[in-house]
Amino acid sequence: MKRLFVLSWIVVCTLMSHDSLVAGDVPAVTSAGGSSIPLAPPVPPSPSTAPGIRIWPDPHFTHWPVIAYGDETRNIAFALPVRQGGVTGTIGWQNQTPLPITLPKDAERISGLLPLSLIVGEQVAMAELGSTRFPLRIHIVDVHDAWPIVRLEHGFPVTSDGLPVVLLDHRRGTREERMWSFLEGSAARPTGRAVVIGDPMTAQGQSAWDGADVEQRITTDERYPHHAALLALGALLQSASGTAVTTLPRSIVWCPGNQALYGAAWSAEEERVLGAVRSRCERLGVLPRLILCLPPMPVEDHLQDVARQRLELLQRSASRLGWVVVDFGRAAGPANQANRLADQVFTRYPQGDALVRMRVALQAALAH
């Protein structure tokens, strides 16, 4: 007992004598018998005691039109970090008059709009803040050519290098409609397996795509699901024209679903996907059967008006652009019955017999 007490007293005295310890050092004490006893390593300082260095993002584009027409004026949104308030600078496209900028003193970031330069190729805008210059690049692509969309960043399509992508299309007129009619009679129909892209509209673990002989490619995004569809469609339509007949699907089905309504981000830009797909098929010289599945009406009352506006626009555009329309809403019936599970309990999409009728309608369109 006396020896243990002496050893404990030596440990205490040793700890009291270490006024400061270097991080990573493991001190030790020597027992009365001469053996070394290591102590626990000291606790490192709290990160809160270090000021740290803030990492500021560079100026960058945040929102842009994914499909633009050459005869319209569009803008692209940019964001500038405010590292130092009061700094003056400019932003603008190369070889054009830049816009003057003065950074505020009471904000961390400012946003603005820049007129979009709709010229095919890589376009560069320059943000100059104080003595520092930041290039902002964007890729304008002819919609007839292969789409270099590799992924979505914050819901918007970009290339493998992270450059924003804008597909440049044209408005359809009488002349274009006649050209499409000619293509219908001359272009070969691909022979690959049919593909369905978009929202499978699942309810109770079952979807509208169940039972269909198709390759399924689910594409979702909380705010811009049609951007996700473009990503999948661009990959699907990469085939060179010489092999497109055997590699492309005989039918392409797009099911937009209602996520754009639930995300409160729907706009008329969605219907431009229909024309973009058609333009790409024209360049490939093929004519798959293009099928649009109009989504059923949502059960929520506050979404009814915008849902009707959306369905009318999609129906009108699809008919004009040669898409076959499958009306899931008509097949399913009124939402308050098709989505009903119990009193005041509804699924997001039709279920039960209503869902079966939607499947039958899709399979009938695919049978041709």
d(CA 32, CA 123): 78
Secondary structure of residue 127 in the 3-state scheme = strand
**Residue 345: strand pairing partners:** 342
pLDDT of residue 241: 61
Looking at residue 60, its pLDDT comes to 96
With beta carbons less than 8 A apart as the criterion, state whether 119 and 140 touch: yes
In this prediction, residue 341 carries a pLDDT of 95
Reference 266, options 317, 312, 226; nearest CA is 226
- What is the pLDDT, as a whole number, of residue 214? 97
| pLDDT one-digit tens code per residue, 203-244 | 999 999 999 999 999 999 999 999 999 999 999 998 766 677
pLDDT of residue 35: 57
Instruction: Order across the sheet with 75-81: list the strands.
Output: 60-63, 75-81, 109-115
Class of domain 174-366: alpha beta
Per-residue pLDDT at 1: 42
The dihedrals phi and psi of 320, each to the nearest 5 degrees, come to -70, -30
Q: What is the C-alpha to C-alpha distance for residues 132 and 160, in angstroms, rounded to an integer?
A: 26
* Number of neighbours of residue 2 by Cβ within 10 angstroms: 5
Per-residue model confidence (pLDDT) at position 13: 42
- Helix 272-284 × helix 174-186 angle, to 10°: 50
- Residue 342 corresponds to which tokens in the numbers above? 């119990």
Domain ranges of the chain: 60-169, 174-366
Instruction: State the pLDDT at residue 247.
Output: 87
Determine the pLDDT at residue 32. Answer: 56
pLDDT at 2: 41
pLDDT score for 34: 59
The token pair at 84 is: 């130092």
Two structure tokens written together for 256: 């937009």
Token pair 């000619």 is found at 182
Contacts of residue 296, Cβ cutoff 8 Å, sequence gap at least 6: 201, 258, 328, 329, 332, 335, 338, 349, 350, 358
Contact 339, 350 (CB under 8 A): yes
The pLDDT, as a whole number, for residue 294 is 98
The confidence score (pLDDT) of residue 23 equals 40
Q: Check if the beta carbon of residue 61 is closer than 8 Å to that of residue 155.
A: no
Give residue 98's region: left, alpha or beta (phi > 0; psi -120 to 50). beta
pLDDT, position 18: 42
3-class SS of residue 23: coil
Contact of 339 with 351, CB cutoff 8 Å: yes
Quickly name the fold that domain 60-169 has.
Answer: Immunoglobulin-like (2.60.40)
Please return the burial class of 161, using the count of CB atoms within 10 Å of its CB with bins 0-12, 13-18 and 19+: exposed
Strand 36-38 to strand 75-81: parallel, antiparallel, or no bridges (unpaired)? unpaired
Residues of the chain with pLDDT below 50 are 1-26
From CA 237, how far away is CA 345, in angstroms rounded? 41
